[in-house]
A and B are shown apart, each in its own frame.
Chain A
Amino acid sequence: MRQDAGQPFFQMSGVSKSYGGAVALEHAQLAVRTGRIHAVLGENGAGKSTLLKVMSGVVQPDEGTMQLDGREVSFASPAAANAAGIVCVFQELSLIPDLSVADNIFASNPPRRFGMIDRPTQRRQAEAALARAGASDIDPLAKVRDLPLSRQQMVELAKGLAREPRILILDEATSALTAADVARVIDVLRRLREEGLALIFISHRMHEVKALADECTVYRNGRHVMSFEAGTRTDNEVVEMMIGREYRHVFPDKPAPKPDGQLADKPVLSCRNLAWNDTLRGVGFALRRGEILGLGGLDGQGQRELLLALFGVLRGCAGEIEIDGKSVSVGSPVAARADKIGMALIPEDRKTEGLMLPMSVRENLSFAALDRMSTGGVIDRVRQRSFVERMMALLAIKSSSVDAAVGSLSGGNQQKVVIAKWLVRQPRILLLCDPTRGIDVGTKQEIYQLLRRLADEGAAIVFYSTDYDELIGCCDRVLVLYEGKVRKELAGPAINEPNLIASALDLPVGQISPSTGVAS
């Protein structure tokens, strides 16, 4: 089954789709064979998501044809695509927060007895599906709302598998996963390939693509660029196809570490013994001007809570926070952003915590600094326009107009808006919670450069990332958190993958061989 030389199992040709005036897909094509993993690559806004939405019945194409198993098909809804055996595990989670894990896995087609949902059977089947997805640690009765994002994504995968797909589409399905989960998911996907499924895989993490894909297709600006056998192109060639321009160094250069004497200047932000519930158990660090401090470790070790605690979101947080050497209490985000402290937080979930999606780019860019743009409580439109225009230019935000709804922008541009709305205030301390999750390579690169530029201009930056490459490429120092404590501080050349992995797993640094990444 591995090499199916004949007709592709699924074929799509000449598919176009536009939203309003914006063309999302133009004469797109895709051919998928069973027993193969097909990676679709491209920047955000390249049309990958639209392509998959057409395939899975979420949107209807303006023109073009799709063939499944030699027969022409069209899907009026996700349910119709599911019935034909095409199942999509979405990047934007399709889970229902108030239902249990088991209810979610069997959302559309629960096991029934006498017409009623058979809950004991559903629970058993949910356990089986979770085990098949490599996530048997999840309790099927738990509410999805109570699970961390990485667990939710595993539930999403289990839900996809429970539908017995013939074609399984994974749209950025690993973006929120921890390294250990990714390894398990990769195993699961390889097994599914052996079982004869056709898999379509989208990821911005090149090493996952390399580990999995048999065949790659690159999209750019809604058009098919090229399809090729995996391994026949170099990384640089692939990235050039994706961004359509010469590929430069991804990460900006780091400044040379300063000699000890110069480090004597007072830290902008320092904290001691931060503790909250069971999630933070005594975290302390000091952060200087011009420094990018990374937060690493497995997902859910208190990194998010640390940022929330600094920003005044958590109540009953013990410990001390000092700004410029003076003890302060940050009681709320209002206090955190005030000039005296000058903090900004780029939250984890841009769609719910960062943006008001239906409102315009202009409004969204203004929300964090309305006080700076108004006189006596009345917004000064002239000043607002000058702020907004400056930020649009500074971050090269691509939008048809400042009046367009921010929800209509691509993921990367949305994230730029979230960052820009805080830069209006010129914060002294910038806290970032996984800011590059699910955005394209080009924008990621711009964000790395922006962070370094801000640091050079004197900002102090705390940068939590689930992507080790980013911590290695961007940060001057990295704190690795483990069970709510700083397990290890890495600096300079010691910030490398083996060290990050070892300390994330609470192993002594230096016991993992750099070539394999496996404990020896």
Chain B
Amino acid sequence: MSGLRYWYADNRGSAFAFALFALMFAIYLINYPSALSANVFQTAANKAVLLALVSMGQALVVLTAGIDLSIGMLLVLTNCLGSWIVRGDALHSALGIAGVLAAGALCGALNGVIIIFGRLQPIVTTIATGAVYYGLALLLRPVPGGSINEDLADALTGNVAGVVPASLLILLAAVVIVWMPFKRSTVGRTAYATGSSEAAAFLSGMPIRRAKFASYTLAGLLAAIGGLFLTFFTDTGEASLGSANSYTLFSIAAVVIGGVSLLGGRGSAIGAVFGAFAFRSIGDLLFVFNVDALWQPLFQGAILLLAVSIGACGLFRVRNRLEWFQ
């Protein structure tokens, strides 16, 4: 019983994000039952998975009390790279995918190295490296263009066995292969510890550098998976500053909705995934209710504020005001 209580205390944020998503999705379905038809659902899932992958990456970094403002740029960079090298026959495409993933991980690792060894603040470092990554993306694709292996794109953006969107399965795989081992490993626990109290982690002899390096590198890798998917969906590479910026900011929003503390040390990437789903559902809901596209950003912002406020309701229960500041 007490084990359950501790589990709930740990996962309250994720549970809230899940509930929020389930609620919005239910409203969506009630008003638009035909959404379950394969195509609509599939498109919605694909869009949500894209943000979920980036948000997972962001969550890994935020847990260490850092932040990755280059993650959207990295998504765009890997999108542009993918539109050049994931082409041709199966072997070439496979090598291309490996190349894109390696490039993403490398860029993430570079963020980590600068932050760890340069002792620069994550926010400044990633603004700078983000600009560099976007610059590279522009050099790769000064104008939108390129293409991707179409068989692969069809397979990965379609449905498996006619029902489950393949993209959801890839996301599930990312959770199982990247997040779960991370959380259960010494490195992952050190990431939590670093975000919670870096000095205490240091005094405990924990591998702080390795944990930060792993967090930033995995964030880069997840952004690269997202970049590949973006290429699969759009069949083109585009160095779009707008989408780079919005993915960066949306990933932070998703992480917060998902109950990951921006101060570090608390939350989980699963919360961030549901946070991303919930955030994407806002757009879908507005579509269902025929809201003019001009109003969308305004409503999105308002609903985001509302969601974050509900998440902060717990503060009203705090009766010792010193706990507000912990």
Contacts and interface: CB of A to CB of B under 8 A. Distances in A.
Interface of A: 58, 77-79, 82, 90, 92-100, 103-104, 107-108, 110, 112, 115-117, 119, 139, 141-143, 145, 159, 276-277, 305, 308, 313-316, 332, 353
B204 A143 contact: no
Contacts of B201: 96, 107
A49 B204 CA distance: 17
A107 B322 contact: no
Interface stretch (B69-77, B136-144, B189-197): B189-197
A107 B320 contact: no
Contact of A90 (B181, B203, B266, B319): B203
Given A96-B201, A308-B320, A107 B192 contact: no
Contacts of B322: 308, 313, 353
A141 B10 CA distance: 11
Contacts of B326: 97, 145
Interface residues of B, number: 31
A316 B205 contact: no
Given A96-B200, A117-B186, A107 B6 contact: no
B9 to A, nearest CB: 7
Given A115-B185, A117-B184, A142-B6, A58 B203 contact: yes
Most buried by A among B2, B6, B200: B200
Given A97-B196, A117-B185, 9 more contacts: A94-B203, A94-B204, A97-B326, A99-B192, A107-B193, A115-B185, A142-B6, A308-B320, A313-B322
B310 to A, nearest CB: 20
A78 B205 contact: yes
Contacts of B266: 98
A313 B321 contact: yes
Interface in B166-203: 181, 184-186, 189, 192-193, 195-197, 199-203
Nearest to A308: B320
B265 interface: yes
Contacts, number: 95
Given A313-B321, A314-B319, A99 B6 contact: no
B205 A82 contact: yes
Contacts of B204: 78, 94, 96, 104, 107-108, 159
Given A78-B202, A116-B184, A145-B326, A316 B189 contact: no
A93 B181 CA distance: 29
A103 B205 CA distance: 13
Given A141-B6, A313-B322, A353-B322, A94 B200 contact: yes
A411 B6 CA distance: 36
A104 B319 CA distance: 27
Contacts of A308: 320, 322
B184 A95 contact: no
B206 A107 contact: yes
B162 interface: no
Interface in B240-278: 265-266
B3 interface: yes
B189 A315 contact: no
Interface in B43-65: none
B321 A98 contact: no
A415 B98 CA distance: 58
B232 to A, nearest CB: 32
Most buried by B among A107, A112, A353: A107
Given A79-B205, A90-B203, A98 B192 contact: yes
A464 B192 CA distance: 35
Given A143-B9, A277-B319, A308-B320, A96 B184 contact: no
20 contacts: A78-B204, A79-B205, A90-B203, A93-B200, A95-B197, A96-B201, A97-B265, A97-B326, A98-B193, A100-B6, A104-B204, A108-B205, A119-B184, A143-B9, A145-B326, A159-B204, A277-B319, A313-B320, A313-B321, A332-B321
B193 A99 contact: yes
Contact of B321 (A104, A116, A143, A315): A315
A370 to B, nearest CB: 19
A99 B191 CA distance: 11
Interface in B300-326: 318-322, 326
Interface in B1-59: 2-3, 6, 9
Contacts of A305: 320
Nearest to A332: B321
A276 B186 contact: no
Contacts of A77: 205
Nearest to B326: A145
A316 B207 CA distance: 43
Contacts of B9: 143
Contacts of B2: 139, 141
A56 to B, nearest CB: 9
Interface in B100-120: none
A116 B206 contact: no
B189 A314 contact: no
A52 B3 CA distance: 38
